[in-house]
Amino acid sequence: MKIHKLINPENVYLDLEASEVKSALAAVADVFSPGLELEPERVVEALVEREELGSTSVGEGFAIPHCKTQGLAQIAIALARFTDGIDFEGTGHDPVRFVFVVLSPPDQPAAHLQVLSQIARVLKRRELRSELLSAADASEVVRAICRVAEEEGL
């Protein structure tokens, strides 16, 4: 499973508003879930439950909230940028402005971990993080991620 095949401009949401983790996850679920034929409330519940196990913040303004949820045939990824930073309670981490939300079918644990690993790998690139925080539109976000994923062999 390659992340560049799972990311598309239709699932990139820029300049969302939220004040805390749950409202941030709800903002993404509200716009992302209907296209997947999932109930936003169920998605938020699963993401919050996972977040309670430990922060998904990876530092420098980024987080990778993720969960396994019934009703999906394959992994789905949404990318969202928030106008203001949100405290994801990651020890010593900056407030989060950009999230990669990963939803996976429960019967694909290996693919789920592979996608999370690939996202973490591309986010190690400082120039990519900068591009994602300043991108003018969804297409620019996707191009930047796909470029880095290709360079990394992902």
Cβ(52)–Cβ(86) under 8 Å? no
Distance CA 154, CA 79 (A): 17
Cβ(63)–Cβ(97) under 8 Å? no
Active site residues: 66
φ, ψ of residue 59 to 5 degrees: the values are 95, 165
Distance CA 54, CA 82 (A): 21
CA distances from 154 to 68, 79, 121, 149 (A): 22, 17, 9, 5
How much of the chain is in helix, strand and coil states, percent to nearest 5?
50, 20, 30
